[in-house]
Amino acid sequence: MAWKDAKAEGTKWADEKLPADLRGQVLQLVNFETDFDSRFFYPDRSAQYHSMITNAIARNARKRGAKTVYATITPSAYMEWQTGQGKEDSKELRLKFIESCHFLSANA
């Protein structure tokens, strides 16, 4: 997949999930070390393509005034969370977890 596709996907995500004014906010985005990790959460997305999407989101957020940080998430982090939730593993639960790892917080 090309940068153009990733940029469109990242822009769409930012437009749907982020407010227009992000001054004083920090946006945490998710990073993956391996394709396996990325595909564990997003089956159709390589780590490289995911990185392109998050780079597009980060650019968009910085234009709105946010600072951006990245957290590297692994399947083992999900499994610990899932165990604490007491729920069966599913695509939907994985997506819920990984999307919760993208969040805004006040600039410290």
* Partners of 8 in beta bridges: none
Q: Which helix (H) or strand (E) holds 105?
A: strand 103-106
CB 24 within 8 A of CB 32: no
Tokens 């639960």 belong to 93
In the chain, what are the domains? 3-106 (1.10.3100.10)
Instruction: Give the span between the Cα atoms of 108 and 94, in whole angstroms.
Output: 29
Reported as a single tens digit per residue, the pLDDT across 11-47 is 999 999 999 999 999 999 999 999 999 999 999 999 9
Instruction: Give the span between the Cα atoms of 2 and 16, in whole angstroms.
Output: 22
Reported as a single tens digit per residue, the pLDDT across 39-81 is 999 999 999 999 999 999 999 999 999 999 999 999 999 999 9
CB 73 within 8 A of CB 45: no
